[in-house]
Amino acid sequence: MRKKCRYFLFPLFLLVVMAAGCWEGREINERAFVFAVAFDLPEDEESEEGAGSVKGGNGGEELSKFTMSIQVPDPSRMAGSREQGQGGDSGKPFIVLSTTARTVLSGLQQLQRELDRTLFLGHSRLILIGEKVAREYGVDRILDYFQRNFQIQRVARVAIVEGKAREILEHMPPIGQEPTTALLNLLSGTGGTSQVYVSDLGKYMVENSNIGLEPVLPRVKKSGDLILTGGAAVIRHNRLTGWLTPFETRGLNILRNEFVGSDYEVECPFHPGDNINVAVVKTNAHHRLVREGKTLTLKILVRGVFETTEFTGEHGPEEELSEELTQRVAAEILNETRAALEKARELKADIIGIGKKIRAEQNKVWQGMDWEEEFLTFPVEIEVKMEWAQTIRRLA
Amino acid sequence: MSKTTMFLSSRQIILLILGLSIGGGNLLLPGRVARVFGTGGWILVLAAGLIFIFAAWICACLGRIFPGETVVEFSRRLLGRPLGFLTGLVVVLFFLLYIPVEIRILQELVNISILRRAPSWFVSSTFFLVLAYATATDFETLAQVNEVLIEITLIVGLMVTLFGWRFFDPSHLQPVFSVEEMNLAKFWEEAGMILGFTGYPLLLLVFPFVRRHRSLPRAAVFAVTLVVLTYAFFTITTLGVFGWNEVAGQAWPGLELAKAVNFEVVILERLDMILIVSWLGAIFTTCFLAYHFAVSGLSRLFNLRSHSPLVWGLAPVIYYLSTILTNYFAWNKWLSYLSVLAVFVGVVLPVFLLFVAGLRRWLGSSGDTGED
């Protein structure tokens, strides 16, 4: 009986200790959830209170300041639509706060002084870095805090903004309540164009740590009243070194097997002036290192499948079209992949991972290489073989 | 192990070895391996595993030779009273010193994930209170709790690892052995990885409670093989997902893997939290088994009838030891020293005792030792 009593008391004891609430538990209305963070160069170099002189870790070089902006939702306005938004000057369901600081943490501390709620970054899903910051300060300096903080999720999206990053945070999307969710959808490649390079904090960290591979981040820019995605930022030696166009990005996605499907427009082989739209539904790039004599060559064979989706002329799909159409689609894809490769060489950044492959498979050869130099002339042969899936609804 | 009527089946022995082996340190294993051996580290996990499988088999063989005794008794018979006493004490010390560092790992896990600002005294003391209470109960209950908790941990761990294969890149595992990646000078710093393999020395204290001694070597070999294969699979996956360089920079690759494989689905969105919660169970099993075997060994050393007073008597000492491990570097160094003890207790001692037992039998002076 005494033993049974002990077994009864034990769970009771556990309940008393553990079910009483978390240590230093905070109510949800005492927290300010930071949805997105943006970094820009400061408008001017006037020093701000709290952003005093800080010496750099390596030999005393002074750290430069950046402007850090955070987007915090305003729960009182989130339930209603924009039309219903009342009481505020902007009527937006979020606020954007900015400060100038030398480190992310000092920036957060300064921003905290403006808010009566505790800033919470556990739900931050978007980190936007202005192009000037990415070029002058480097990406790693900005991301260091986010890489070390356990609260931050590896799936948080990171993007480079062409222009001012803060402007993206302030922009209201045409549909939806706040820009972060809209931008997250755009950066997730849900549109299925493959013109966006899909990446996140975790993927960036992995790419950045790889030897023989330079990381790429998606590009975002504001154009008039719109936010545009598509294209990518090439990071070399931790700094933004150049941009890929949306088509080069699609070529890169094909070469890195991250292609999720996209539409192409080719001229009809039999009716000049007419166009045929095709949807390339999948591709697979097989990379193979081949030694020919003393020369090591990378041969990339891209295989893919497409469907015809639209004909501008009076005819529909015909069997005679098959060979010529397949060649034209393959040529389009070949052009894009070559364009991606050429841009990578122009920017001196191996974003395809050719060096990574050589290091993995031909490590002795890799040891004797100066890859930064040799990447520019390393022989790469790309071959594209496409198939027409011929899932046809209408013939005529 | 106050109840001599308790008899362990082979399945229970396997789960006990798993329960003691799989603890907080496993979440660090791929990082340790990557920092010392680079991409080919997973092969060394397998190679090192072979040594420990052999050592586990030796331990189990001792159980067949001395079926009714623990290491405390048969080491006295083999080595004489003073040396035998010392041997028993070293074994007890190994289990005892395991607990403070596991408590500290648990505290760090709780602080980085669940209760960020909870003071260490609160986390450690509440856990330790539950731990001491659980250890003071009979071994049968502990064995049953261990069965449940370690199976949950294994299932969750396996689920996270399998989900990780979505991001697996085989080129991250090449080149297999690259000199530029290896840093053998760091081995001492990362020697704590050895402790993940050395759960099987508990066999030295369970021989009298084993139902079928003949199947003991098979159970021991199976358990350690399972441990080794699990670790190798976990290491391969982590290296394949992140690459050697990234893993080498991570303190908790196991958690990072869980964070990386999050799904945007309600229950799986924070897979890392599910992993942490289940791993707290694994740390609990490691701690209560280590605690139990420490006090049960001590009570046998000093011929005490019950081990419960010892549990509460040692509690302040263990708690104090856990408080001196103030940060990652402190408990990591502790693990390195403990790994030396683990190699002694898990490899050197069983081989030596088996050698002495064989020698005495060969010399015809083994007395009443014999096969069961």
Closest listed residue to residue B15, CA positions, set B297, B233, B289, B342: B289
A9-56 residue pLDDT tens = 666 666 666 655 566 666 777 788 999 999 999 886 544 444 444 454
Residue A243 β-bridge partners: A233
Which is it for the CA torsion B34, B36, B41, B44, positive or negative? negative
Closest Cβ opposite residue A206 in set B122, B129, B243? B243
Taking the C-alpha atoms of residue A144 and residue A121, their distance in angstroms, rounded to an integer, is: 14
Q: How far is CA B30 from CA A53, B53, B102, B190, B213, in A?
A: 40, 20, 18, 11, 35
Q: What is the DSSP letter of A173?
A: P
Q: Does B145 touch chain A (CB under 8 A)?
A: no
- B198 Cα distance to chain centroid: 5
Residues of A in contact with B253 (CB under 8 A): none
Task: Name the amino acid, one letter, at A252.
Answer: L
CB contact under 8 A, B171 and A356: yes
Q: What is the DSSP letter of B287?
A: H
Would you state the pLDDT for residue B2? Answer: 46
Task: Name the amino acid, one letter, at A169.
Answer: L
Q: What is the DSSP letter of A196?
A: B
Taking the C-alpha atoms of residue B70 and residue B232, their distance in angstroms, rounded to an integer, is: 32
Written as six digits, the tokens of A223 are 């154009």
Residues of A in contact with B174 (CB under 8 A): 359-361, 363
Q: What is the DSSP letter of B346?
A: I
Q: Does B144 touch chain A (CB under 8 A)?
A: no
Would you state the pLDDT for residue B53? Answer: 96
Calculate how close chain A gets to B118, using CA atoms only, in Å.
6
Taking the C-alpha atoms of residue B119 and residue B102, their distance in angstroms, rounded to an integer, is: 17
Residue A156 makes CB contacts below 8 A (sequence gap 6+) with A124, A125, A126, A127, A146, A200, A201
Q: Cα–Cα–Cα angle for B321, B191, B150, nearest 5°?
A: 70
Taking the C-alpha atoms of residue A350 and residue A336, their distance in angstroms, rounded to an integer, is: 16
Taking the C-alpha atoms of residue B360 and residue B339, their distance in angstroms, rounded to an integer, is: 30
Please report the ipTM that was assigned to this predicted complex: 0.84
Mean pLDDT over residues A177-187, rounded? 80
CB contact under 8 A, B178 and A363: yes
- A39 Cα distance to chain centroid: 16
Q: Cα–Cα–Cα angle for B173, B178, B181, nearest 5°?
A: 85
Task: Name the amino acid, one letter, at B65.
Answer: I
Please say if the pLDDT value at position A375 is more than 70.
yes
Which of A208-217, A269-278, B325-334 bottoms out in mean pLDDT, i.e. has the lowest? A269-278
Q: What is the end-to-end Cα distance of chain B in Å, rounded? A: 21
Written as six digits, the tokens of A184 are 């997250």
Reported confidence tier of residue A106, pLDDT bands at 50, 70, 90: very high
Written as six digits, the tokens of A92 are 């937006």
Alpha carbons within 13 angstroms on the beta-carbon side of residue A16 total 8
Would you state the pLDDT for residue A13? Answer: 67
Which is it for the CA torsion A175, A181, A183, A187, positive or negative? negative
Would you state the pLDDT for residue B35? Answer: 93
CB contact under 8 A, A23 and B126: no
Q: Does B358 touch chain A (CB under 8 A)?
A: no
Q: Is domain A251-388 classified as CATH 3.40.50.150?
A: no
Residue B177: strand, helix, or coil = coil
Residue A223 β-bridge partners: A226
Written as six digits, the tokens of B30 are 């791929």
- Taking the domains of chain A in order of start, what are their residue ranges? 30-43+63-244, 251-388
Closest listed residue to residue A320, CA positions, set A260, A269, A246: A269
Residues of A in contact with B114 (CB under 8 A): 22
Which is it for the CA torsion B355, B356, B359, B364, positive or negative? negative
Please say if the pLDDT value at position A393 is more than 80.
no
A159-174 residue pLDDT tens = 999 999 999 988 888 7
Would you state the pLDDT for residue B240? Answer: 95
Residue A296 β-bridge partners: A291
Written as six digits, the tokens of A111 are 């921003």
Question: What is the share, in percent, of chain A residues with pLDDT greater than 70?
Answer: 83
Residues of B in contact with A206 (CB under 8 A): 241-243, 246
Written as six digits, the tokens of B111 are 């602080």
A331-367 in b/e burial notation, b at 16+ Cβ within 10 A? ebbbebbbbbbebbbebbbbbbbbbbbbbbbbbeebe
At CB < 8 A and 24+ separation, what contacts does A102-108 make? Answer: A102/A51, A102/A54, A102/A63, A102/A64, A102/A65, A102/A66, A103/A54, A103/A63, A103/A145, A104/A37, A104/A68, A104/A142, A104/A144, A104/A145, A104/A146, A105/A145, A106/A50, A106/A51, A106/A54, A107/A66, A107/A68, A108/A68, A108/A70
A44-99 residue pLDDT tens = 654 444 444 445 445 555 678 899 999 998 877 766 544 444 444 457 788 899 99
A contact set with B (CB within 8 A): 6, 10, 13-14, 17, 22-24, 150-151, 153-155, 202, 205-206, 209-211, 353, 356-357, 359-361, 363, 367
Would you state the pLDDT for residue A78? Answer: 67
Which is it for the CA torsion A127, A188, B258, B123, positive or negative? positive
Say what the alpha-carbon torsion angle A61, A65, A71, A72 is, to the nearest 10 degrees: 80
> For A250, phi and psi rounded to 5 degrees?
-65, -40
Which domains occur in chain B, in start order?
10-359 (1.20.1740.10)
Closest Cβ opposite residue A209 in set B117, B246, B259? B246
Residue A101 makes CB contacts below 8 A (sequence gap 6+) with A50, A51, A65, A66, A68, A107, A110
Q: What is the DSSP letter of B327?
A: S
Alpha carbons within 13 angstroms on the beta-carbon side of residue A381 total 11
Residue A99 β-bridge partners: A68
Do A126 and A36 meet the contact criterion of CB atoms below 8 Å apart? Answer: yes
Tally: H helices and E strands in chain A: 13, 14
Closest Cβ opposite residue A206 in set B119, B130, B246? B246
Q: Residue with structure tokens 């329960």?
A: B19
Residues of B in contact with A360 (CB under 8 A): 171, 174-175
Residues of A in contact with B115 (CB under 8 A): 22-24
Written as six digits, the tokens of A277 are 């739209």
Residues of B in contact with A17 (CB under 8 A): 126, 129-130
Q: Which residue of A has its CA nearest to B270?
A: A153
Burial of B47 (0-12, 13-18, 19+ CB in 10 A): exposed
Residue B93: strand, helix, or coil = helix
Helical (H) or strand (E) element with B314: helix B308-324
Provide the residue-wise pLDDT of chain B in tens; the chain has 372 residues: 544 456 888 999 999 999 999 999 899 999 999 999 999 889 999 999 999 999 999 999 998 888 888 999 999 989 998 999 999 999 999 999 999 999 999 999 888 887 877 888 888 888 888 899 889 888 888 888 999 999 999 999 999 899 889 899 999 998 887 777 888 888 999 999 999 999 999 999 998 888 888 889 999 999 999 999 999 999 999 999 999 999 999 999 999 998 888 776 656 667 888 888 889 999 999 999 999 999 999 999 998 888 888 898 999 999 999 999 988 899 999 999 999 999 999 999 999 999 999 988 888 754 454 443
A221-267 residue pLDDT tens = 988 888 888 899 999 999 999 999 999 999 999 999 999 889 999 88
Say what the alpha-carbon torsion angle A276, A281, A282, A283 is, to the nearest 10 degrees: 10
